[in-house]
Structure 1
Amino acid sequence: MTDESTPSAGNGSRLDPAEQRAAVRDRYARIASESSSCCGDTDSCADAPTDRSSELGYSDADREAVAAGADMGLGCGNPTAIAGLEDGDTVLDLGSGAGFDCFLAAREVGPTGRVIGVDMTPEMVERARENVDANDATTVEFRLGEIEHLPVADESVDVILSNCVINLSADKSQVFREAFRVLRPGGRLAVSDVVLSADLPADRRADPASVAACIGGAAPVPALAELLSDAGFVGVAIEPKADSESFIREWDDEHDPSDYVVAATIKAEKPRGTAAAQ
């Protein structure tokens, strides 16, 4: 089992976990309040969210289906496109932000389905709840909580989504254990995130701004695969996306993050007949 105390493991950062949570919470509280966009720390983050969402893989139909205010241009992919959602599914979004992926998922699962968004930033949760009425999304709810300690019952979810959020966690192994706990047997994980493609300089790993900007906390593919397997998942598939360089490069005005991180799709399943992890 990988030791998360090292940067090569799921931790990906040498920051104190409390300092890391504070840096992430502060950054996304500011984004929610100022309506700026994107994971990175650059002036270009103020670009129109719809333009950035097109780069991330959302279609015109996706963007037009959700009322303005939910699509903030955050993320590094489109997890709803890889999730294979079906009518009646219960969906959980880890780090749901203003709710864009949740509202798209609600359209896929229909009136008999349910979508739960969890975010640790009160300002984001407040904004997402305001967007529920704007989208007439009666099957969507948002809860304040940390993805390492989900406010969700055991074995109550069919599909877990997440969009460029797990890299922000100081304890990825706990995130995956919680995901395993809340999934029903046969449930699945469909995640868009960033992974390390090269060794990240130590000063970037220890920089709160770099970690909060989806760079300093990224982990390499083998470490993530091991953490998912250790949590009990099977069918683990992590596929980096080389074409993500075009938007990752815009995340920092002073450095090129695409030298070190690349977007990826992450899929895994909870075996059928498996009880929740304790």
Structure 2
Amino acid sequence: MSEDCLSFIDDSALASRSLGTQRSNGVFISQVGRLNRCQTGVTQAIKNSSIELLTKTRVSDIKSLSFLEDYQTTIESAPVVLANPQTAQQLIPQVKLRLQAIRGQSTRVESINRPLNHALCGDGYLASMDDESVWSSGTFDLDDESTEVRSRDNLVNLDRINQLYDSIESVKQMEVVESWVGVRYATLDRMPHVGFVGNNEYALTGFGSKGFTWGPLASEMLVSELLGLSCPVERSLRKRMSPLRFD
């Protein structure tokens, strides 16, 4: 990566002027900035494609020839790609996925006393929205699948703002405008599950907290496998990502 994109910061005064923090010994990535709302764009992309989106549909069983069955209807789908780790193990009990739940809570505050123009990462991260609100994230609770918002986790995230960003309002003065809880799933060896599991069924799951890192490559690997194309990674790495490796 070129110096135009990445540079080291080992001067606390420079960090204070550039990023608003007294911390040093970090890396500055110039092209990392604010978050943009992307949900509308994703929805529009689905509408403009041939994808049929079924929401609020709970798959209860996968029968032979890849028939998906919920409690009321049967849907024919071939092949089937399991990308939901929370229920994947229930649908393919014959495969040992060995997934671990990791709960995380993020907190958005209305504003801080000066603009946050860059995302800050350390023990968690801070990132601003286009309305000047700031997300602080996140907690990390192993073997916890609860999706309820917890006040104590909001306090942890508010305290993180004070730790990463200097000269801002006290925790008591910050107004929490939104809380979000997600449960991610990691594998025993922290490598994702990508590929064939049997009966025209495939897995694409187990990314843990590295979805942005693994997601694009894993998706390309799976599409290549479905279309019979050359795999974009070495055979040894592909083997380490096989959903059947724990069997």
Specify the TM-score bucket, using the shorter chain as the normaliser.
Answer: under 0.3
> Which of the pair has more CA radius of gyration?
2
Identify, as 1 or 2, the structure richer in strand: 2
TM-score, L = length of structure 1: 0.24
Identify, as 1 or 2, the structure richer in helix: 1
Higher relative contact order (CA 8 A, sep 6+): 1
